[in-house]
Amino acid sequence: MNNITKIITAGIFATQLNAATVTDGWENSANFGLTLTRGNSETILLTTAFNFLNDNGTTQQLANLSYTFGESDSNTTADVLSTYYTWNKLVSETTYYGFRAEGLRDDLADIEYRLQATALYGIHLLKNDTTTFSVEFGPGYTVESVGDDNFDSAHIYLGQRASHKLSETSFITQSLAAYAPLEDLDNFNVIFNIAIESKVSENMNLRVALENTYTNNPAFGADENDLKLISGISYKF
């Protein structure tokens, strides 16, 4: 339970820090999900995420900090900390360039750290009041420690993002990011996310999300797929 205490404390600190430093134009939210079982088994799954968005029409910034911790009968089933920051600059109605930075630590997948920085070029294939769909790609660099191996290499990035407004109170968001080192394209990883949210009050949404991380060459003893289905609330601040 010490891990849970640490991440809740860190989340409170991050929220306070953000509230003191952001300016008008930022849209921020905190997502929380918690599952507990007691009786024949004792399990816990805690997910927290803080999302930050600033979009002035020509420049867009997105940032995320998330943590997942799971335990079943005193055995850890999930311990993942991840973050990313994206900066995009619109150069026409349909094209943009930008920068993306990501960090990951996953104890069960034996990823001590994975740090990635990418320059990207993107295209809005569809963008209107209800639906957006874009693709992006670019070169970057990865530094990571997986299992007993330390690795760094130039990589190629392919990404895709979409959103759709279902009604005045509900919407879907989806994203996909794939990375492959140029010196070993078979050593790729793919991150897929899709979520649906429905508004229940001015600042609170119900949220259900599916997240999957696929690693083509995982560390010894680790699975290729890491799939999570998360339900909880999203609070805007």
Half-sphere exposure of 156 (CA within 13 A, CB side): 8
Given pLDDT bands bounded at 50, 70 and 90, which one contains residue 218?
A: confident
Has residue 188 got a pLDDT over 70?
yes
pLDDT value for 40: 65
**Region 213-235: what's the mean pLDDT?**
86
Tell me what the pLDDT averaged over the chain comes to: 87
| Helix then strand then coil, % of the chain, to nearest 5 | 10, 70, 20
> For residues 25 and 126, which has the higher predicted lDDT (pLDDT)?
126
pLDDT value for 148: 83
The Cα–Cα gap between 224 and 234 comes to 29
Long-range interactions of 216-219: CB distance < 8 A, separation 24+: 216/186, 216/187, 216/188, 216/189, 217/186, 217/187, 218/109, 218/110, 219/109, 219/110, 219/111, 219/146, 219/147
**pLDDT tens-digit profile of 102-145?**
999 999 888 999 999 999 999 999 999 999 999 999 999 999 99
CATH code of domain 2-236: 2.40.160.40
Has residue 14 got a pLDDT over 70?
no
- The residues with which 120 forms a beta bridge, in sequence order, are 98
**Region 207-228: what's the mean pLDDT?**
86
Token pair 């943009």 is found at 96
The Cα–Cα gap between 163 and 23 comes to 25
Distance set, CA 62 to CA 53, 65, 102, 108 (Å): 5, 11, 12, 27
pLDDT value for 24: 61
Distance set, CA 108 to CA 133, 143, 162, 223 (Å): 33, 19, 30, 9
Are 38 and 73 in contact by the 8 Å Cβ rule? The answer is: no
Has residue 38 got a pLDDT over 80?
no
- Picking from 174, 15, 172, 177, the residue whose alpha carbon sits closest to that of residue 100 is 177
**pLDDT tens-digit profile of 43-71?**
888 999 999 999 998 999 999 999 999 99
**Region 14-41: what's the mean pLDDT?**
67
Percentage of the residues of the chain whose pLDDT score is greater than 90: 65
Phi and psi (nearest 5°) for 19? -60, -25
Domain coordinates in residue numbering, the chain: 2-236
Greatest Cα-to-Cα distance within the chain, rounded to the nearest angstrom: 59
